[in-house]
Amino acid sequence: MGTQPSYEIQGRTVTLPCEVRDASSGTAVYAVSAREAQRLVPEAFEVLEPTPGTTQLSLLMVDYRDNDLGDYDEVGIVFFVKPRGAADERAGTYIHQLPVNQGFTCEAGCRIWGFPKSVQEIDVEYAPSSATCRLVMEGRHVFTLTVPRGGRDETPDSASTGYTLIDGVPHASSFIRGGRGEQTRPGGEGVRLELGDHPLAEDLRKLGLPKDPILSNWCEHMRGSFGPSTPL
């Protein structure tokens, strides 16, 4: 058996796969302009179009409680893509922005996987039936997202592919995810999105937000693991 890849980050050793043992996550998925989305995605990838001219955008919040990279909050702006010219079967995700509120996970994510992480101000508040995340970057409000909370479903572990650039070279990595206390709700009931005045909020407006999402998802206890990143 080969040696597992490892990295030295701020005096700590991170060995892959990186394990997520417990986290809460909330997601809202929107139908947006494929043309506007492609402007935010590197040339190496092309957005998927479930219907002509339209692609999907996910806004997500994650509260990591037990994770090899620490206890931290994260916000993601994610598009569904494939390598340019590839078959649809190679569909995966491309993360446009991935703000976090801790420095260690920021450096680890950038160096190991090429994730576009940056340390920003993230506030997560819980109510009995909802969770709200407010993202502030460079002192300016980007967005505040509220998603409905709750669910009883158990989700088996499943693998997906994430695409990134490392030093300009397209890479792919595998993420395995499962959870309990999960529920997916069609439509926008209970979802609220407020955009701020940061330039990233303007990018979201050009995509057509705010509007009702296609669906929302909440997982009270998410688990998963991140594998190594390999060049395409």
The pLDDT tens digits of the residues spanning 164-202 come to 999 999 999 999 999 999 999 999 999 999 999 999 999
Domain range 25-221, CATH architecture: Beta Barrel (2.40)
* Res 2: pLDDT: 55
How high does pLDDT run on average in the chain?
97
Q: What is the pLDDT of residue 158?
A: 97
Q: What is the pLDDT of residues 121-155, one digit of tens each?
A: 999 999 999 999 999 999 999 999 999 999 999 99
Report yes or no on whether pTM surpasses 0.85: yes
For 59-99, write each residue's pLDDT tens digit: 999 999 999 999 999 999 999 999 999 999 999 999 999 99
The partner residues of 28 in beta bridges, in order of sequence, read 59, 216
CA 217 – CA 156 distance, rounded (Å): 15
Q: Is residue 1 pLDDT above 70, yes or no?
A: no
